[in-house]
Amino acid sequence: MAEQQQQSPAEVDGSGSVPGGHPVWSSRWTFVLAATGSAVGLGNIWKFPYIAGENGGGAFVLVYLLCILLVGIPVMVAEVMLGRRGRQSPINTMRRLTTEAGLERHWHAIGWLGVIAGLMILSYYAVIAGWALNYIGKMASGAFQGASADQVAIIFADLLSDPKALILWQTVFMILTLLVVIGGVTRGLGVAVRILMPVLFVLLLILLVFGIQRGDFAQAVNFLFSFNYEALTWAGVLEAMGHAFFTLSLGMGAIMAYGAYMPEHARIGRTVLAVGFLDTVVALVAGLAIFPIVFANPSIAPGAGPGLLFVSLPIAFGNMTGGLLFGSLFFVLVTLAAWSSAISLIEPAVAYLIESKKFTRITANLLLGGIAWIVGLGSVLSFNIWAEKQVAGFNFFEFMDFLTSSVMLPLTGLFIALFAGWLMRPETVRSELADESGRVFASWYWILRYVSPIAVGIIFVMGLYKTFS
């Protein structure tokens, strides 16, 4: 396999633009790496366990898995396909394909909605990733050694109540992200995904073993996989579907942007399956590592919320041999996983400003990163001074999270399914997926046209209605 002779998109330095003669990744593996780097992040390790916990486990997990299979994977294939056909930043890709299909310009909105959602997600993503950064030092300094569940909870609460510290770490993380996007994504990303992700996975497995030996593993399995459907509400179903989009990085252009550099004859279907599989396994293992500890410590509730990871795992690390080292390493890796996702949250917008508005890579990053940072301050404050300021039952962080994952991503995903399934000419779609067998193509096309849009539509309407009624 020729190693990457051509530069990848984001690597295109200074100008960053990829006009007409778009570069192409040397193999589909580079796409798998980049897309996995984007997909595997805080969503898997931090968010999935706590939202599963808040929604009562079992039935929520089942809905989530169904959404990955029936909505996420088909939409991901569509996004990669659209990206490869358009070969530009998501906004311009959608422009080009809209014209090609002879449609109204309203369809450009797909690109715009995605780019805006990406920046909104980045705003709070940097805050949470900042917690992980902060925890590297806490772990390494032995703050959790031998600590009881209550002591760990107090250390975490102290961090949340200190806006200055949160802003400091949010800023550090944002700078790290911008540095990579300014410098070129692929190198750093390649290393992160190829070497660090497997290490992260091994560490999760070590925690899993710890959980099996010292935690209440049976109850954790029971909680995550028994179909306890009374605990599930329409609001929870909406959250599960939104999370399927979030965790696969769908509905905001990241995957479309990466798809723009797929080689012409790479098979999109199996590539996407590989990414979806890896992402799901990481989330499930994270859940199975966290919940045994939760159930072994009555002072932490499964529905503890965003702090679940930051309380449950330090208890484990603080009470196992090698915990100091493994714990520090674990939060280094969580930070890196967040980093490789954060890059893809800002890259589509950066690419657009460079392509169409004559920005340099640096100014585009400073502007967009600056906006996301300022908006992120709202999330910082929602964990302390603004904790009581709520709109419709959401504080600022929860509102941003809800608006992006439960509204914007599914909506954009729905439009993508409709666009690729119903509006593009079938011959065009088939020609982009020419390497798939007839049967695989037909099944995908059918699911994308009928199942995904109807599922998203029903869940979206019912979920919103029940959330606000």
Residues that bind ligand PHE (CB under 6 A): 38-39, 41-44, 121, 246-247, 249, 252, 254, 341, 344-345
Residue type, 361: R
The nearest distance, CB 456 to ligand PHE, in angstroms, is 16
**144-153 residues labelled b (16+ CB within 10 A) or e (exposed):** beebebeebb
Determine the Cα–Cα distance for residues 205 and 282; give it in Å rounded to an integer: 10
Determine the Cα–Cα distance for residues 335 and 139; give it in Å rounded to an integer: 14
SS (H, E, C) the chain: CCCCCCCCHHHCCCCCCCCCCCCCCCCHHHHHHHHHHHHCCHHHHHHHHHHHHHCCCHHHHHHHHHHHHHHHHHHHHHHHHHHHHHCCCHHHHHHHHHHHCCCCHHHHHHHHHHHHHHHHHHHHHHHHHHHHHHHHHHHHCCCCCCCCHHHHHHHHHHHHCCHHHHHHHHHHHHHHHHHHHHHCHHHHHHHHHHHHHHHHHHHHHHHHHHHHHHCCHHHHHHHHHCCCHHHCCHHHHHHHHHHHHHHCCCCCCHHHHHHCCCCCCCCHHHHHHHHHHHHHHHHHHHHHHHHHHHHHCCCCCCCCCCCHHHHHHHHHHHCCCCHHHHHHHHHHHHHHHHHHHHHHHHHHHHHHHHHHHCCCHHHHHHHHHHHHHHHHHHHHHHCCCCCCCCECCECHHHHHHHHHHHHHHHHHHHHHHHHHHHHCCHHHHHHHCCCCCHHHHHHHHHHHHHHHHHHHHHHHHHHHHHHHC
Q: Which of 319, 405 has the CB closer to ligand PHE?
A: 405
The nearest distance, CB 345 to ligand PHE, in angstroms, is 5
Q: Which of 344, 406 has the CB closer to ligand PHE?
A: 344
Q: Which of 35, 433 has the CB closer to ligand PHE?
A: 35
The nearest distance, CB 243 to ligand PHE, in angstroms, is 9
The nearest distance, CB 39 to ligand PHE, in angstroms, is 5
Q: Which of 122, 424 has the CB closer to ligand PHE?
A: 122
Residue number of the CB atom closest to ligand PHE: 43
The nearest distance, CB 43 to ligand PHE, in angstroms, is 2
The nearest distance, CB 408 to ligand PHE, in angstroms, is 10
Would you say 57 and 223 are in contact if contact means Cβ atoms under 8 Å apart? Answer: yes
Q: Which of 217, 246 has the CB closer to ligand PHE?
A: 246
Q: Which of 341, 452 has the CB closer to ligand PHE?
A: 341
Determine the Cα–Cα distance for residues 233 and 321; give it in Å rounded to an integer: 41
Q: Which of 42, 418 has the CB closer to ligand PHE?
A: 42
Q: Which of 114, 215 has the CB closer to ligand PHE?
A: 114
Q: Which of 297, 412 has the CB closer to ligand PHE?
A: 412
The nearest distance, CB 298 to ligand PHE, in angstroms, is 30
The nearest distance, CB 286 to ligand PHE, in angstroms, is 11
The nearest distance, CB 23 to ligand PHE, in angstroms, is 21
The nearest distance, CB 312 to ligand PHE, in angstroms, is 18
Q: Which of 73, 429 has the CB closer to ligand PHE?
A: 73
Q: Which of 33, 429 has the CB closer to ligand PHE?
A: 33
The nearest distance, CB 177 to ligand PHE, in angstroms, is 11
In terms of Cβ atoms closer than 10 Å to its own Cβ (0-12, 13-18, 19+), residue 10 is: buried
Would you say 224 and 288 are in contact if contact means Cβ atoms under 8 Å apart? Answer: yes
